[in-house]
Each structure stands twice: as C-alpha cells, then as structure tokens.
Amino acid sequence: MSELNEWKMMDTAPMDGTAIQARIPGHGEDNIIAWLDHYVDENGEFCGAWTFIEDQEPPDCWTDGVCWTSNEDGKPSVQPTHWKEIS
C-alpha cells in the first residue's frame, strides 16, 4: 500500500490552482507552487504555468516566480520533477 504523501511525477500534479510541494532540481524539495492559468504568452494567448505562491525565493531561471518554457533571458526554466501534497 502506498503512502498518501509520497513523491509523485509532475504529470500527475493537480493543475487547478491547488498548492503543492515540489521538487525542483538544484532548488530542493520545500517549494510551494501551484499551476495558475491566467498568464498571457508572447503570442497574446492565455496559458498556464507553475508559480510560487508563498514568499519563497524561486530559482534564478524562473521569471518573477513563474516557470516558463523559457524565461525572460530566453533560457529554459528548470522544471519541477516531483510533487506531493503539502504536509
């Protein structure tokens, strides 16, 4: 029987604004993020992105606490790899 609060792959993470704890390579495991879908991309289209929702320092490669496919410098943001419910 698996534990309720074990690490899971990001493709199973809730994408409905629910806060989760995330593992981000090079940035530890205590990151509190949520998928928010109120952003507008470079083409003027609405899109979603992983976003820090607590007062934490995001990775340098995230622009304004948001994980874009590529950040404002044109470099890829480090994507979260695992998640679990906040304990």
Q: Tokens 């948001």 sit at which residue? A: 66
**Is residue 1 one of the residues assigned to a domain?**
no
> Quick one: DSSP state of residue 64?
T
Determine the pLDDT at residue 3: 61
Cα Rg, the chain, nearest whole Å: 13
Bigger pLDDT: 43 vs 29: 29
pLDDT of 43 > 90? The answer is no
- The answer as to whether 3 is a domain residue is no
Whether 56 is covered by a domain: the verdict is yes
Within-domain flag for 2:
no
pLDDT surpassing 60 at residue 77: yes
User: How many domains does the chain divide into?
Assistant: 1
Residue 30 lies in a domain: yes
Domain enclosing residue 71, as ranges: 8-84
| CA-wise closest residue to 71 among 81, 61, 79, 58 | 61
Q: Is the pLDDT of residue 17 over 70?
A: yes
In a domain, 55, yes or no: yes
pTM above 0.85, yes or no: yes
Does residue 20 fall inside a structural domain?
yes
CA distance 76 to 87: 30
